[in-house]
């Protein structure tokens, strides 16, 4: 039976489309089970019907013609109950509905199994026999297993276009159902899809021996030089739409082009006799393996930059590598299997309306750049890229949804929302110069998070009062070794100088386990609970000490630096880290450095320290709650796992109660506590955080104007009342619904869309 199942699954996976897959299912199952009929019905949610999509046993002409309303017939009974229906004589059941054109009257025994994917009913898989006897348990369990396998294929077809078969012959195919992805950059984009693809594919390059090594080295070096010019031109093209400092986003490309491991790797392969294209292929593949094995989404996304850079060099290596300029629509929705930051930079700024990428997340460079440009973006969208070029598209960057060829009603509604958003943005822009103070006079400083200088530079003009979190990992990622003290000093000095009117919080190195460096790989079964963060820093004081010395030196004369320790789970780790910091400080003072000891904080992101928060607070100057990780650990939900991501919600009552405990513990020891992470940038959550008494909120720069509006429109007393009301709910969805209703009533519906 298991071998039969494997063969069926393999055949279905190899099917060219959903139609063929469904027919394979009914044919293979009927043969394997020795039954007289096998059929598949799928749900048409738009028309509230079950549609016969494939059969072996009924009249073939009834396929896609037989439609049963939800709750109608035995098929409707299976869908309604969402459980197996096993009958010796289906025709005698009260729910049975006879449909003459199917030829079903010759069958008696009926077995229907629901097809369910992530709690969503997708259809019904049916077996029937001439005999009047129930199906035995082996057949029932086998059919349940087949239905579970089929569910994934159908769910994929819903977002890849294959499900359009449901609507054949049923009028317009214009869709009211969105394709789903992850929010990459907030906003509404309405325009025409322009599918961008690369003609240079590294994996297709063959090995080829060469005779003239020096000539091949010259060809490669010319290609690298040409790509450097391309990147410089991209930076220039964005000069009018972004601050000059935002070129730091593309500086990563230039750094990789000058990387010893990349350039030397290719040149060494050429010297071994392989031509430049294959040498490039192998070197890029080696780099990609390191990035793609990382669990941390921010660092894993850097692999896309490596791949993009390799393709650009390859394009220059290939004959006729000069790219012809593209003619973009006036309102371009840039679409691709994997859109990169450099692809976005190729579109004239005045013509880009939104970005949709089949790969990536909000930590991708293209998402970061889109946020800096104010361009809506949806990442990781499973969309039929090959079939949508030139179609009308709506991009909802708030919810991570894409509507392709939408209905007129949806098109009109989103056009209205886009206009409303434009007016809202103008209103929010007026808040930039105003203080982040509640109507009853409580100051709530708003800070920004970032891992690249390009994310931090325009912070003051957006009204930020400090940098709440600077991730120091990326400078370690783009090198082939640990960066030295002087290299780190230059980086941290530039970050500190980017914001001189408020605190700049540098988080110490948060790698290891799930974020292995290319030159320091770590293989673990459970990296999220493994050797990472402060654990690896304490186990390698020689590395930690270099970073702390560089940070302290960078702060000389600045007096704006704060240090933040990540992944702390005990007071012992705090004591050990502070001891190493004191050692670094004493060494530099002995070397005549005029430095001051900075304020030191701890990230509250591990549940254990929630229960030791007062003991932690006695040892440091401030606390910062990392709500992303704390929520994941408290709820045991990986929010990057599509199977369970729906369970992740920072407004879960357990998370709210943990956050209250943290702020009470910090204030009991008279130290400030802030929140960094997406929760701080969620308008619905921000009200509750103010009600809890958090002293500061740190978020992505794009969210800052909206959160300032929240702070300026809700008194702390009202925020406390709303917190009490929220704590009465037992479900996160009810908390969010309540808070969104509050925002709607306050007159800022755009904030509701941002929070959902």
HEC readout, 487-535: HHHHHHHHHHHCCCCCCEEEECCCCECCECECCECCCCCCHHHCCCCHH
| 365 among known catalytic residues | yes
Residues 38, 117, 287, 676: which is the catalytic one? 676
Measure the CA dihedral 375/291/227/203, to 10°: -110
CA distance linking residue 130 with residue 523, whole number of Å: 57
Tokens of 396: 């909802």
Residue whose structure tokens are 């309405």? 190
Tell me the pairing of strands 188-195 and 332-336: parallel
The encoded tokens of residue 270 equal 């050429």
Of 50, 108, 121, 365, catalytic? 365
Cβ atoms within 10 Å of 503's Cβ, excluding its own: 19
d(CA 685, CA 711): 11
Scanning 640-703, the segments in alpha helix (DSSP H) are 653-668, 683-692
Burial of 259 (0-12, 13-18, 19+ CB in 10 A): middle
Long-range contacts of 196-199 (CB under 8 A, 24+ apart): 196/326, 196/334, 196/335, 196/336, 196/339, 196/343, 196/346, 197/336, 197/337, 198/311, 198/315, 199/315
Work out the angle between the directed axes of helices 627-635 and 653-668 (0-180°, nearest 10): 130
Pairing of strands 85-87, 467-471: unpaired
Element (DSSP H or E) covering residue 708: helix 704-713
Distance CA 477, CA 320 (A): 33
**How close are the terminal C-alpha atoms of the chain, in Å?**
45
Decide: residue 201, CB within 10 A, 0-12 exposed, 13-18 middle, 19+ buried.
exposed
Specify whether the CB–CB gap between 288 and 299 falls below 8 A.
no
Find how far residue 210's CA is from the centre of its chain: 43
Record the tokens describing residue 492, joined without a space. Answer: 């941290």
Cα 634 to its chain centre, rounded Å, is 20
Q: What is the rounded CA–CA span in Å between residue 743 and residue 737?
A: 10
Q: Give the Cα separation of 177 and 417 in Å (integer).
A: 18
Contacts of 278 (CB under 8 A, 6+ apart): 205, 206, 207, 208, 269
Cα dihedral 52/58/62/67 (nearest 10) = -40
Helix-helix angle 683-692:704-713, to 10 degrees: 50
Listed in sequence order, the residues at least 6 apart from 713 whose beta carbon sits closer than 8 Å to its beta carbon are 439, 746, 748
Whether 676 is catalytic is yes
Q: How far apart are CA 640 and CA 514, in angstroms?
A: 13
User: Which residue, chain included where needed, has tokens 């009249």?
Assistant: 59
Phi, psi of 698 (to 5 degrees): -125, 135
- Give the rounded distance of the alpha carbon of 443 from its chain centre: 32
Bridge partners of residue 551, in order along the sequence: none
The Cα–Cα gap between 574 and 578 comes to 6
Active site residues: 365, 676
């Amino acid at each position: 039976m298991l071998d039969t199942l494997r063969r069926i699954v393999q055949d279905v996976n190899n099917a060219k489309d959903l139609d063929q897959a469904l027919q394979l299912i009914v044919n293979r199952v009927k043969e394997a089970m020795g039954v007289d009929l096998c059929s598949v019905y799928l749900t048409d949610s738009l028309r509230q019907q079950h549609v016969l999509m494939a059969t072996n046993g009924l009249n073939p002409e009834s396929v896609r013609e037989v439609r049963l309303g939800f709750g109608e017939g035995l098929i409707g009974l299976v869908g309604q109950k969402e459980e197996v229906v096993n009958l010796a004589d289906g025709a005698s059941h009260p729910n049975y509905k006879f449909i003459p054109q199917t030829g079903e009257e010759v069958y008696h025994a009926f077995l229907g199994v629901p097809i369910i994917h992530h709690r969503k009913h997708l259809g019904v898989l049916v077996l029937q026999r001439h005999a009047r006897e129930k199906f035995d348990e082996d057949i029932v369990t086998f059919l349940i297993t087949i239905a579970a396998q089929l569910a994934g294929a159908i769910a994929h077809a819903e977002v890849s276009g294959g499900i359009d078969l449901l609507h054949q012959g049923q009028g317009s195919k214009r869709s009211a159902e969105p394709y789903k992805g992850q929010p990459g950059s907030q906003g509404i984009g309405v325009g025409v899809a322009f599918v961008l693809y690369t003609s240079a594919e590294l994996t297709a390059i063959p090995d080829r021996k060469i005779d003239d090594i020096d000539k091949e080295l010259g060809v490669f070096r010319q290609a690298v030089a040409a790509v450097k010019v391309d990147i410089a031109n991209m930076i220039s093209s964005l000069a009018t739409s972004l601050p000059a400092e935002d070129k730091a986003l593309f500086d990563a490309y230039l750094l990789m082009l000058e990387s010893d491991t990349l350039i030397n790797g290719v040149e060494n392969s050429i010297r071994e006799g392989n031509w430049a294209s294959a040498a490039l292929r192998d070197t890029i593949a080696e780099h990609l393996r390191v990035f793609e094995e990382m669990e941390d989404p921010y660092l894993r996304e850097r692999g896309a930059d490596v791949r993009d850079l390799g393709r650009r060099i390859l394009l220059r290596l290939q004959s006729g590598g000069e790219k012809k300029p593209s003619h973009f629509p006036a309102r371009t929705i840039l679409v691709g299997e994997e859109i990169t930051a450099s692809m976005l930079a190729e579109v004239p700024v005045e013509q880009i309306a939104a970005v949709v990428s089949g790969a990536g997340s909000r930590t991708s460079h293209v998402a970061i750049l889109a946020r800096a440009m104010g361009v809506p973006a949806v990442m990781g969208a499973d969309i039929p890229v090959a079939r949508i070029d030139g179609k009308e598209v709506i991009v909802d960057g708030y919810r991570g949804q894409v509507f392709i060829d939408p209905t007129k009603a949806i098109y009109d509604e989103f056009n209205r929302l886009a206009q409303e958003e434009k007016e809202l943005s103008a209103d929010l822009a007026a808040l930039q110069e105003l203080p982040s103070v509640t109507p009853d006079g409580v100051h709530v400083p708003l800070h920004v998070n970032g891992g690249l200088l390009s994310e931090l530079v325009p912070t003051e003009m957006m009204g930020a009062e400090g940098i709440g979190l600077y991730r120091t990992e990326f400078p370690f990622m783009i090198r082939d070794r640990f960066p030295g003290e002087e290299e780190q000093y230059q980086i941290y000095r530039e970050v500190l100088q980017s914001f001189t009117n408020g605190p700049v919080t540098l988080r110490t190195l948060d790698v290891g386990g799930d974020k292995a460096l290319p030159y320091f790989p770590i293989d673990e079964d459970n990296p999220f609970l493994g050797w990472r963060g402060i654990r690896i820093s304490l186990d390698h004081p020689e590395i930690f000490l270099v970073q702390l010395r560089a940070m302290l030196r960078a702060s000389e004369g600045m007096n704006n630096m704060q240090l933040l320790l990540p992944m702390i789970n005990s007071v012992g780790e705090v004591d050990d880290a502070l001891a190493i910091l004191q050692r670094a400080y004493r060494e530099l003072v002995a070397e005549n450095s005029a430095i001051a000891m900075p304020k030191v904080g701890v990230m509250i992101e591990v549940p254990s320290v929630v229960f030791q928060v007062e003991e932690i607070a006695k040892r440091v100057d401030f606390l910062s709650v990392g709500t992303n990780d704390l929520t994941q650990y408290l709820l045991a939900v990986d929010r990057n796992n599509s199977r369970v991501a729906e369970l992740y919600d920072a407004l879960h009552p357990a998370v709210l109660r943990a956050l209250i405990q943290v702020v009470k513990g910090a204030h009991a020891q008279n130290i400030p506590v802030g929140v960094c992470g997406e929760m701080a940038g969620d308008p619905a959550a921000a009200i509750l955080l103010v009600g809890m008494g958090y002293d500061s909120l740190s978020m992505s720069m794009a969210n800052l104007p909206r959160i300032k509006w929240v702070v300026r429109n809700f008194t702390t007393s009202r925020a406390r009342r709303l917190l009490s009301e929220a704590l009465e709910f037992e479900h996160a969805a009810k908390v969010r619904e309540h808070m969104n209703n509050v925002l709607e009533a306050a007159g800022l519906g755009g904030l509701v869309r941002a929070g959902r």
